[in-house]
Chains A and B, each alone.
Chain A
Amino acid sequence: GAVVSQHPSWVICKSGTSVKIECRSLDFQATTMFWYRQFPKQSLMLMATSNEGSKATYEQGVEKDKFLINHASLTLSTLTVTSAHPEDSSFYICSANDLYETQYFGPGTRLLVL
């Protein structure tokens, strides 16, 4: 299957700082990528849909100014958590659809805000 990478795999930051997470499709081009948030033993919550060359589409209740998404190329999307606070601590996962419309997921990023 297709491979999606994420970087970093984990990050610890101080409250008030910004953190950038990268998501790359390694062996295919992805015009659309997705960003999820997951709490322990819970399901994935879709945050936004990242579209190459256009603005991201955010789910209801997700703050656009807090979670900035940039889809710079057909293989790279970034999520920036701005002015992070402890409540932003979570597990963030990205995904992308291959040309067969199957969604593949990155390994996730653990964010801890102190």
Chain B
Amino acid sequence: AQTVTQSQPEMSVQEAETVTLSCTYDTSESDYYLFWYKQPPSRQMILVIRQEAYKQQNATENRFSVNFQKAAKSFSLKISDSQLGDAAMYFCAYRRGGAGGTSYGKLTFGQGTILTVHP
């Protein structure tokens, strides 16, 4: 079974600084997707970034970028120029690729990291 581990229960950063959230995963699959989701105090889950395992290039979305190390099964999220609105709980998630099967489409989540942004 696939597992996702976020080893940092809490992180903090000063406004305008950069912070990196860690995520490791374990899988025997070669085709899969990785995601970072943000859950602010409203508790609405918001997709931050998505990475396909077959792509070597790291995904970026504005101030958010990932460091995808497939061999090491590591998928960290870097937030640059942190803003107060970035304060939230961040979840790393895994989904296997391909179609069909009982686990099709299911996400496996990490434990989450609470990010605090200090003004």
Q: Which residues of A contact B (CB under 8 A)?
A: 1, 32, 34, 38, 41-44, 46, 49, 57, 91, 93, 95, 97, 101-105, 107-108
Q: Which of B34-52 contact A (CB under 8 A)?
A: 35, 37, 42-47, 50
- Is the pair A43, B111 in contact by a Cβ cutoff of 8 Å? yes
- Is the pair A102, B47 in contact by a Cβ cutoff of 8 Å? yes
Q: Which residues of B contact A32 (CB under 8 A)?
A: 104-105
Which of A44, A101, A107 meets B33, CB within 8 Å?
Answer: A101
B19 within 8 A of A: no
Between A49, A57, A101, the greatest number of chain B beta carbons within 10 A of the residue's beta carbon is seen for A101
Query: Across chains A and B, which 4 residue pairs bring their CB atoms closest together, nearest first?
Result: A105-B45, A43-B109, A107-B44, A97-B105
Classify chain B's interface size: 20 to 34
Q: Which of B7-24 contact A (CB under 8 A)?
A: none
Cβ-Cβ contact count across A and B, 8 Å cutoff: 53
Which of B33, B89, B109 meets A41, CB within 8 Å?
Answer: B89
Rounded to whole angstroms, the CA-CA distance of A105 and B45 in the bound complex is: 6
The chain B residue with its CB closest to the CB of A103 is: B107
Q: Which residues of B contact A49 (CB under 8 A)?
A: 105-106
- Is the pair B50, A46 in contact by a Cβ cutoff of 8 Å? no
Rounded to whole angstroms, the CA-CA distance of A43 and B92 in the bound complex is: 10
The chain A residue with its CB closest to the CB of B97 is: A101
Q: Mark B70-102, 1 if CB is under 8 A from A, else 0.
A: 000000000000000000010100010000001
Rounded to whole angstroms, the CA-CA distance of A49 and B50 in the bound complex is: 22
- Is the pair B110, A43 in contact by a Cβ cutoff of 8 Å? yes
Q: Which residues of A contact B44 (CB under 8 A)?
A: 105, 107-108
Which of A1, A41, A44, A97 meets B114, CB within 8 Å?
Answer: A41
The chain A residue with its CB closest to the CB of B111 is: A43
- Is the pair B45, A95 in contact by a Cβ cutoff of 8 Å? yes
